[in-house]
Amino acid sequence: MANLTGIVEDDVCNLFRQVFAALKPGIAELEILPSRDPAGGADIILRPTNPKSAQIWSHASDRTVSLRFGRHSITEVFATYKAETKALNKIRWMSEAVINGELSEDVWLLDGKVVKAVGSLKVDSKVLKLRYCRFCNPFRSRERQHFSYLPYSASE
């Protein structure tokens, strides 16, 4: 892997192409688009055909990869100069865990918008917590929803 800005973006796109190619035909769609972010990068969406499975969204730019699993479980992976391979492996195993149905999340809505999310991603015997929180009035009532996602290969 090279150490030039932008190479990480290409590597992440190629990683998701490989992950997608390993899936059975017809169980997901892969979309890679130039980002709307003025800083550039690429937006990558792996969308399962089963609506009860979790979508994977990724934004790769420079040396940072933002990932969103399901409705709003968010994490970032930093691909430093000496650790690009390690970062790409982390993205791969997290994505494969989502594809295998190892994600569940609690989402809190306020006026129809996600204000908080806590995802649990089970990998091997460990559970990785993915958190998102947006500032909102703490005295307003929020609606909580729980989602347990199915593997991509599961039938509806």
Q: How buried is 33 (Cβ within 10 angstroms: 0-12 exposed, 13-18 middle, 19+ buried)?
A: exposed
Are 32 and 71 found together in one domain? yes
* 3-state secondary structure labels for all residues of 9-61: HHHHHHHHHHHHHCCCCCCEEEEEEECCCCCCCEEEEEEECCCCCCCEEEEEE
Q: What is the mean pLDDT of residues 124-137?
A: 82
Q: Is pLDDT of 110 > 50?
A: yes
Q: What is the pLDDT of residue 55?
A: 96
Q: Is pLDDT of 62 > 60?
A: yes
Read off the pLDDT of residues 95-105 as tens digits, 9 standing for 90 and up: 999 999 999 99
Q: What is the pLDDT of residue 156?
A: 58
Give the domain range for residue 56. Answer: 7-101
Are 116 and 87 found together in one domain? no
Are 73 and 140 found together in one domain? no
Tallying the residues shown for the chain, one arrives at: 156
Q: DSSP letters of 68-113?
A: EETTTEEEEEE--TT-HHHHHHHHHHHHHHHHTT-EEEEEEEETTE
Q: What is the pLDDT of residue 78?
A: 86
Are 82 and 144 found together in one domain? no
Are 37 and 81 found together in one domain? yes
Are 17 and 54 found together in one domain? yes
Are 19 and 93 found together in one domain? yes
Q: What is the pLDDT of residue 8?
A: 76
Whether residue 111 lies inside any domain: the answer is yes
Q: What is the mean pLDDT of residues 31-46?
A: 88
Whether residue 153 lies inside any domain: the answer is no
